[in-house]
Structure 1
């Protein structure tokens, strides 16, 4: 899962970044609203954490832009601004949660888990996803197991498998893969095909289906 973090306090930014990375999340962190706008306009994330009072565009303005792109993905505001007007404005613009500073990191993690379960419909308390044929994927640790033996994955393979699992039995377009795994950065088409092929070999033949001209699909064992 990819999380976007906007926090201008460098120390707090690093603390949150490390805490999330330690729990298996892929995190993009920025310190000002200008960079935040650039990132959210060009990349896809699963959950956003925004401070309000930051240089450049405010957290409110970043939130407003996020909601123009996607109305459903969870957005958590973390702010020392406790005035009811600021809190009300954040909710009016579409935030899902407002966490007042200072807070415990574990409190933030609990809020993240709650929104993953209720909004993204992904039960993070069930860390191990059974893919059948003795294959499982630990979403928390981003670890693939085959007959209880760990199969080494690259960072991009972890992102790709997470994307497939979050869209199990649904077509994942090449554009979705390019955006989620490569952050829309320039890449050769052969790079995507090569990574799909390598991941397929680490799973079971036939689990990843090529939807010609559209993308790929990870299918359940029941349909193989």
Structure 2
């Protein structure tokens, strides 16, 4: 799953990012509110972690910007500000959680698990999705298994399969893939086809359908 991190302390930013990556998350991290807004405009994430006091747009403005586009995505605020007014404003603007610094990284991970699990409950789904033919995919850990054996995936394959699984039996357009897997960055069409082809080889033939000129569909 994709996590967006905004934290202006370079050392803390690096530690949080590495900690989450070690847990299997794909993380984009920023230290500047202006750059964060610019990137958010062209990308989609499963969860946001926002520091309150950053350069450019502060965490509240970034929170408000996200909520204008998506009312449901989990947003966790992190801040050394402990006054009730900042906490109240954060929840009023729509954050799901507010963690006071300093915090234990295990606590942050538990909060992330909690909010992501509630999304899946709302969608009447579990983290481990049965794909049929003895294949299963863990949305939290982004791991693919055939029976009891894990099938190795690249980062791009993890993101693509996550997108397909979250939209199982529905069409995932080329535009959706471009946005989620490549963060809307410039890419060649052959790159997308290559990743899809490699992922198809790791699944049973026919599980991923090619909808020519439109996109792809994972069939269960």
Provide the TM-score with structure 1 as the length reference.
Answer: 0.89
Contact conserved, 1:172 with 1:216, CA < 8 A, in 2?
A: yes
- 1:53 corresponds in structure 2 to 53
Whole-angstrom CA distance in 1 between matches of 2:43 and 2:147: 35
Give CA-to-partner distance per residue, 1:147-170, whole Å, 9 cap, x none: 444433221111101111122222
Say whether the 8 Å CA contact 2:32–2:55 is kept in structure 1: yes
Tell me how far 1:120 sits from its aligned partner: 4.4
Aligned to 2:151: 151
Instruction: Please give the alpha-carbon distance, in whole angstroms, between the structure 1 residues aligned to 2:104 and 2:58.
Output: 23
What is the DSSP-based 3-state SS (H/G/I as helix, E as strand, rest coil) of the residue aligned with 1:42?
coil
Post-superposition offset of 1:119 = 2.6
Q: Distance in 2 between matches of 1:147 and 1:120?
A: 23
Q: Per-residue deviation at 1:90?
A: 0.9
Match of residue 10 from structure 1 = 10
Structure 1, unaligned runs of 5 or more: none
Q: Residue 188 of structure 2 corresponds to which residue in structure 1? A: 188
Q: Which residues in structure 2 correspond to 1:53-72 (within 5 Å)?
A: 53-72=53-72
Match for residue 197 of structure 2? 197
- In the alignment, which residue of structure 1 is the partner of 2:23? 23
State the SS of the aligned residue for 2:216: strand
Give distance in 2, aligned partners of 1:94 and 1:51: 15
Q: Deviations over 1:72-94 (max 9, x none)?
A: 11100011111111111111111
What is the TM-score when the length of structure 2 is the normalising length? 0.91
SS in structure 2 at match of 1:89: helix
Contact 1:23 1:140 in 2 (8 A): no
1:100 aligned partner: 100
The residue aligned with 1:216 is 216
Count of residue correspondences: 218
Structure 1 window deviating more from structure 2 (46-55 vs 189-198): it is: 189-198
Identify if the C-alpha distance between structure 1 residues 119 and 139 changes in structure 2 by more than 3 Å, giving closer, same or farther. Answer: closer
Please name the residue that 1:118 is paired with.
118
> For the residues of structure 1 that align with 2:57 and 2:172, how far apart are their CA atoms?
33
Equivalences for residues 153-168 of structure 1 within 5 A? 153-168=153-168
Give the Cα–Cα distance (whole angstroms) in 1 for the partners of residues 105 and 43 of structure 2. Answer: 26
Asked if 1:39 is matched to 2:39, the reply is yes
Look up the SS of the partner of 1:92 in the other structure. helix
Q: CA deviation at 1:211?
A: 3.2
- The answer to which of 150-159 and 12-21 deviates more is 150-159
Mapped contact 1:76–1:97 kept (Cα < 8 A): yes
> Could you say what secondary structure the match of 1:119 adopts?
helix
